[in-house]
Structure 1
Amino acid sequence: MAHAPGITLKPLVKLPRDPSACWEWQGAIDAAGYARKQHRDRAMTAARWMWEVLWGAVPEAFTVACLHGNRTCCNPHHLVARPQAEANRSGVGATLTAQDVAVIKRAKRGRGLQTATQLATQFDVQPAAIRAIWRGATWGRRGRPGTYQRKETAAHG
């Protein structure tokens, strides 16, 4: 459904003077920092809601996100609809290489209280991502030695 008369955006977003700036969401924000909206008895991100209000339904298996990663931005000019697989490849997990993970795993042996924080800063990820690698929750070793795969996408068998 394209824009329907009567839908008011002003109370829901903070409109800046510069039209190219982010439109900050004024409604609910979830624990992960995403702007959220209830629409037609369905919870969705504010970015997806904005897309659907202005341009119609988002194709199946697509996600809507801000081009620059601001989770509370819903400026239509900043939004992009893309396949979920493409969005996953550009996410935080895509920033780590097998060599990065090897360094992170070696650092576990001599870790101190601040090691996860220091590594997170070095590799531009959250400290929780470092700890997940150390626990083996992500980037578990499977197959040939030296080959790393995310456990979620690895074949189970």
Structure 2
Amino acid sequence: MPAKWADRFLAYVTDAPGGCWQWTGYLMPNGYARITVDGERQYAHRLSYEVFVASIPDGLVIDHLCRNRGCVNPSHLDAVTQRVNVLRGESHAAARAQQVACIRGHPFDTANTYVAGNGTRKSRRCRAAARDRARRRQGVTRVPA
């Protein structure tokens, strides 16, 4: 990035609590900062990482360690896989991944965990109990193997 672009970039930055460099330019509705460079729209946090840290390796995304989408402080940015980015976040998927037991308290360990085709985890004990309840509702008796 030429020096004139770096000066323009920094003109849109203000200090914020927690050491964030808050973007004062355009913020998209989802909270991410955006800038236009040479007619091309770019995420400002990605540009900040590339200018002040290094190029972003293929297959990686930039994670805001401060959880502030409008922050462009390169020391608050980390190049990680999409999976790591999601798991570090505050989403429903991140919360589910951090669970160590099902809602009935059965542990998510190797012996008791079934991973469904869509990647969700189920307790084998709960799954077997649900199948038994369904069979009883349908009037089907289970034949031992």
How would you bin the TM-score normalised by the shorter chain? 0.5 to 0.7
Alignment correspondent of 2:11: 11
How do residues 101-112 of structure 1 correspond to structure 2 at under 5 angstroms? none
Pick from 66, 71, 91: which aligns with 1:73? 71
Alignment correspondent of 2:131: none
Secondary structure of the residue that 2:19 maps to in structure 1?
coil
**8 A contact 1:4–1:53 mirrored in 2:** no
> CA, structure 1 residues 52+40, in 2 after alignment: closer, same or farther (shift >3 Å)?
farther
**Equivalent residue pairs, number:** 108
Q: Distance in 2 between matches of 1:13 and 1:95?
A: 32
Shift of 1:140: 8.1
**8 A contact 1:39–1:49 mirrored in 2:** no
> CA, structure 1 residues 55+40, in 2 after alignment: closer, same or farther (shift >3 Å)?
farther
> What's the TM-score, normalizing by structure 2?
0.57
Gap runs ≥5 in structure 1: 104-138, 148-157
Alignment correspondent of 1:64: 62
Shift of 1:34: 1.3
Q: Distance in 2 between matches of 1:4 and 1:73?
A: 22
Secondary structure of the residue that 2:31 maps to in structure 1?
coil
Secondary structure of the residue that 1:74 maps to in structure 2?
coil
Cα displacement string for residues 81-112 of structure 1 (whole angstroms, at most 9, x for unaligned residues): 11112112223121134968x69xxxxxxxxx
Shift of 1:75: 1.1
| Aligned CA-pair RMSD | 3.4
> What's the TM-score, normalizing by structure 1?
0.53
Pick from 10, 35, 38: which aligns with 1:37? 35
> CA, structure 1 residues 39+86, in 2 after alignment: closer, same or farther (shift >3 Å)?
farther
Structure number with bigger Rg? 2
Alignment correspondent of 1:50: 48
Normalized per residue, the structure richer in strand is 2
Q: Distance in 1 between matches of 2:27 and 2:66?
A: 18
Cα displacement string for residues 55-104 of structure 1 (whole angstroms, at most 9, x for unaligned residues): 3421111111221201111111111111112112223121134968x69x
Gap runs ≥5 in structure 2: 105-118, 128-145
Instruction: Give the residue type in structure 1 aligned to 2:65.
Output: L
Q: Distance in 2 between matches of 1:4 and 1:29?
A: 23
